[in-house]
A and B are shown apart, each in its own frame.
Chain A
């Protein structure tokens, strides 16, 4: 039966090679031997102990090599061990399930061996060594192949070794559910190490959390033996103080962990166990140290319980003081504050709706957060400005602002100004954001609009924002709030004038888009009033701060003018007057400093009043065009004008027989004939506004303003450049050249109450009227011609009355403007008594010719010591040529007009004598 074997090696060449290779083991033959060993492992499973022992040696060598290896140029021998390890790795990973019970314990023993031997090497170096990585991979791979009981045994084996907690952590990633609860059975230090390593693996954190919470709930359970669990809570706290991951596990979703029932039970447990030895470590100081590292939700929970629980209240105060103290160190990173910054929305919400204690505590937290994170400072300001609805919250805002600015800054610090400047910038940005966000919020669709539950006094967000700002400004201006002494809010608003002006402009705009279901759909006037009040309350004069820039001024002026006109249209008288008064105040404030503002304001006001909003003042638009019927061809229209040369404005001509293209004028158009009255409320309000723009110290502002008004009137009534100058030409010239134009200008002026009223104001502010000379000339020229025409027809119609009224107005204006010196000024009184022909005479000889020869120019007016411009009557007596006509007429009708004669001529002569 015996099978004769010639070879002395009974088993195999491999085995012999391996045995004798190992006994003469050196670095060079390691890969070779490793391959042999792997073959043996497959074919001679019984040799596994020996092979694995050899592999363990290889691993030891490789670890030594790789941690001592400083660079990558390594000698061949070193590579041998590393190479072998890299051969072993995949092979052992892939041996399969039946091998796992042998491989896994071997790995674990090897890890423990290595860890113990290399205990002096830093953990990270060791962990990052390639061989260790490979070994850990093998371990993990094989652990997963084991059944749960064997696996638990292996993990227990590892946990028993103090040196390789990192390995447990690493390997435990495959089995966090097994490792985590076991780790918690260890001492706090060991558990910390294991869990810390476990935490590098994100999915494991869940298991850690489950394990920790299980332990916690177990400790609280009522039925079990209390003395056994006495140490659990102190242990957990102690562990948490050492391990971030445990702390995180405990504090994550803390509201769900510490429900009210749990709290109740916890209090009971604390009360019964507090006096034991383990609990001695649970001091407020240690709890506060924990809380510093916890997240802000813990703080909120603490706040919730603080009202009812004295200990919580003390803890809270302790915590806050500790936080404030810790913030003294600039580079200290406090997780609680970081978390508060991350969850700042919750904190702010709570600040709005919490109870008193919560509010004050959170304000302190927010100060700390704001101090560390300027961006949160800005957003907090913005948030509170938008959503604060009562004084106490605003007071908290003031506290936060001043607290943040003055925190840790000793009053004698040299860089205090620089720092406050920086913070002032933040406040400014905060206001800016609040404004922007409020306007954006106004355009968002809100639930209350959709379900129709809009409260009666629903205000827009912008309105709320303004109310808050106004309140703060009032506090600031009262000078009784020491925190606001530096005017942070006022300066911030002043820095944001452009945007606030823009907001006012947008809200007053009639073309504003008003989406349904949004705040913008509400009536905008309350918001506009609030915005105007904000503008009204800040300083724009540049006395307390640098004066606003040009574009800011222009923006605010435009907005204010718009606001003014919106107010004019209000039905409610008080509201209207109040709004107008605000607008006027604003205009005055703006114009008193800046000529630019004045010019802009006057132009805006007049333009709007005359061109766009004229209906409000009773003005009628001049009907420059008759609407051509649709069938009219341009060719036919042209034929209607006749062969004569077209003059300026001739298509509107009302001269002679009628309107060209329309035929003879209907005499019964009563409305057409009425001259709109000057004395209306709106007109007066507008004049008030105009006057507001002209205020300055002394008379100069008025004169300058009125001059601008005059120029503007000329420009607006007659945009032409030609013939708008001061001189009055020969009367004949007008007849031949410019009569159509004069007629248009007169019509335009006459129909526009605003223009006439403004002209009167200009007349009062001498010598401003001179610059409106073109308008006066137009009226005078048309009067001359029309009266002459009526004279021809002997009419005493309504039209005649109108002409007389116009004459009266012209004369009174010119007299007021001192363009007609004594005795010409008395034409006003004389005029009603004169016949048409007499008027024509007087107008031509006394008015036209005098003005033609004495061009009304500001140069005629001298400025006296009080700054008043006026024409000295004694030096500007008109020569006899201009007064003789008057004298003759009075003499001729001495019976009726005699009482004027001495006034007009006798005094004059007396003076002459």
Chain B
């Protein structure tokens, strides 16, 4: 079928239907052979642009300015339908990546963001898995990925805060997505600043969900690496980056950034209820047990989860892939500048509980990571960087031990 015929047949349909039809045609074009030719790729892109996203329009009667939000929604629905109905993982990823793989279009990224967010809302596993693959292929720290992740966070942790349970269950249904999602999230928070106060901390409910994910699923962090994506033939798979290094950062730096005083304020005072007879004891127990964890408690729990995950990250064969040594070494300047500030304020490093807490956690993480062979990259550089950190007994022992074994 020639290009013009193809387009001609598609033009018989009005908007929502034409997109649906176009998806099928694209699948036919791209899948099934060894690898689509360049010409086929071009045709597919052309059709996507004209009939799916309605970006270029050569026909009269339809406005060329793209789609309205309502039409966006229709399109998303169609794509979801398609992805959900698609039985072949490779086919699905192929079509998905060709729809959203281009870097250039902000509009498509926006639609993708909505799509991802809605998939999270609806716990739509096929879509989420596809998005997970997309994240990995784009690179979790790329600007597109970060934008998508930011959108999802805003939708589900700011605007709609009532779906924590559904979110927590995502770790079981779409671990690859979750793993890549966490990696991108660690790029967003506690990352940029050099120990200053305007550092961005993750919102509490996000922290809570991530903690729940990591804590209850030690293999989660490795899942993107353990389950390689089903990619179209001929494409280059991107290496999955685990969220572990980022989470170690979070846990280690958390004591430095979290103010205990503000913590106290956040503890919700139990509501004064009108006492009903016979209800006293029960409500009392309830308030005690349902007392939410504070933020620093979440970090402690997360830290434990991370350590568990590190232990699960041991690979029986092949080089370690879990944590990049360089990534861990990047902690050193942040901690140093904090210690510098402490000294400047006239405090003593040995007596600063926050700093010691931080150093302890670094030590624990490094020890567990090294012991389990999870670290790749230049380990001696890492040890040298850790050596420049302020005095800490645990850290000292660890450095000494590992420098000896090198």
Give A residues with C-beta under 8 Å from B.
1-3, 5, 7-12, 15-16, 18-19, 22-23, 42-50, 52-54, 98-99
Contacts and interface: CB of A to CB of B under 8 A. Distances in A.
Contact of A50 (B70, B113, B122, B124): B70
B78 to A, nearest CB: 9
B85 interface: yes
Contacts of A19: 70, 73-74, 77
Nearest to A3: B125
Nearest to B155: A45
A457 to B, nearest CB: 76
Nearest to B75: A19
Contacts of B118: 11, 15, 44, 46-47
B84 interface: yes
Nearest to B126: A2
A781 to B, nearest CB: 108
B121 interface: yes
A244 B32 CA distance: 77
Contact of A10 (B80, B154, B175): B80
B155 A46 contact: yes
A1 B72 contact: no
Given A19-B74, A22-B70, A50-B70, A12 B122 contact: yes
A93 to B, nearest CB: 16
Contact of B160 (A18, A22, A23, A42): A42
Given A3-B125, A45-B155, A46-B151, 15 more contacts: A1-B125, A2-B125, A3-B173, A7-B84, A9-B81, A10-B77, A10-B80, A10-B81, A10-B122, A11-B77, A18-B73, A45-B160, A49-B114, A50-B70, A99-B159
A133 to B, nearest CB: 26
A15 B227 contact: no
- The interface centre, meaning the residue of A11, A12, A15, A43 with most chain B CB atoms within 10 A of its CB, is A11
B377 to A, nearest CB: 30
B121 A45 contact: yes
20 contacts: A1-B173, A1-B174, A1-B227, A2-B125, A2-B129, A5-B125, A7-B84, A10-B80, A10-B124, A15-B73, A15-B77, A16-B77, A23-B16, A43-B160, A44-B117, A44-B160, A46-B117, A46-B118, A46-B121, A98-B158
B69 A50 contact: yes
Contacts of A12: 121-122
Nearest to B69: A49
Interface of B: 16, 68-70, 72-74, 77, 80-81, 83-85, 89, 113-119, 121-122, 124-127, 129, 151, 154-156, 158-160, 162-163, 173-176, 227
A308 to B, nearest CB: 59
B121 A43 contact: yes
B247 to A, nearest CB: 23
B84 A8 contact: yes
Nearest to B79: A10
A45 B117 contact: yes
A666 to B, nearest CB: 104
Contacts of A2: 89, 125-126, 129
A421 B89 CA distance: 107
Contacts of B174: 1
A18 B84 CA distance: 19
A22 B89 CA distance: 33
A12 B158 CA distance: 22
Contacts of A54: 70
Contacts of B81: 8-10
B190 to A, nearest CB: 21
Contacts of A42: 160, 162
Nearest to A5: B84
Contact of B74 (A1, A23, A45, A49): A23
Contacts of A23: 16, 74
A46 B83 contact: no
Contacts of A22: 70
Nearest to A98: B158
Contacts of A43: 121, 160, 163
Contacts of B121: 11-12, 43-46
Contacts of B151: 46
A1 B77 CA distance: 23
Contacts of B155: 45-46
A594 to B, nearest CB: 87
B80 A1 contact: no
A761 B394 CA distance: 141
Contacts of B159: 45, 48, 98-99
Return the 8 tightest CB-CB contacts between A and B, nearest first: A46-B117, A49-B69, A10-B84, A10-B80, A45-B159, A45-B155, A50-B73, A3-B125
Contacts of A3: 125-126, 173
A11 B114 CA distance: 12
B80 A46 contact: no
Contact of A5 (B126, B129, B227): B126
Contacts of A45: 117, 121, 154-156, 159-160
- The interface centre, meaning the residue of B83, B117, B227 with most chain A CB atoms within 10 A of its CB, is B117
B49 to A, nearest CB: 21
Nearest to B174: A1
Contacts of A15: 73, 77, 118, 122
Contacts of B125: 1-3, 5
Contacts of A16: 77
- The interface centre, meaning the residue of A16, A47, A53 with most chain B CB atoms within 10 A of its CB, is A47
Given A10-B122, A42-B160, A53-B68, A47 B114 contact: yes
Given A45-B155, A98-B158, A8 B74 contact: no
B87 to A, nearest CB: 9
Given A10-B126, A12-B122, A50 B72 contact: yes
B162 A53 contact: no
B129 A46 contact: no
Contacts of B74: 19, 23
A44 B227 contact: no
Contacts of A46: 113-118, 121, 151, 155
A25 to B, nearest CB: 10
Contacts of A50: 68-70, 72-73
A22 B84 CA distance: 23
B157 to A, nearest CB: 9
Nearest to B92: A2
Nearest to A49: B69
A42 B74 CA distance: 18
A146 to B, nearest CB: 14
Contact of B124 (A5, A8, A48, A49): A5
Contacts of B156: 45
Contacts of B160: 42-45
Contact of A44 (B122, B158, B175): B122
B226 to A, nearest CB: 11
A97 B75 CA distance: 30
A14 to B, nearest CB: 10
Nearest to A57: B70
Nearest to B176: A1
Contacts of B175: 1
Nearest to B124: A10
Nearest to A99: B159
Nearest to B74: A19
A44 B119 CA distance: 9
B113 to A, nearest CB: 7
Nearest to A18: B73
B263 to A, nearest CB: 21
Given A2-B125, A43-B163, A45-B159, A11 B117 contact: no
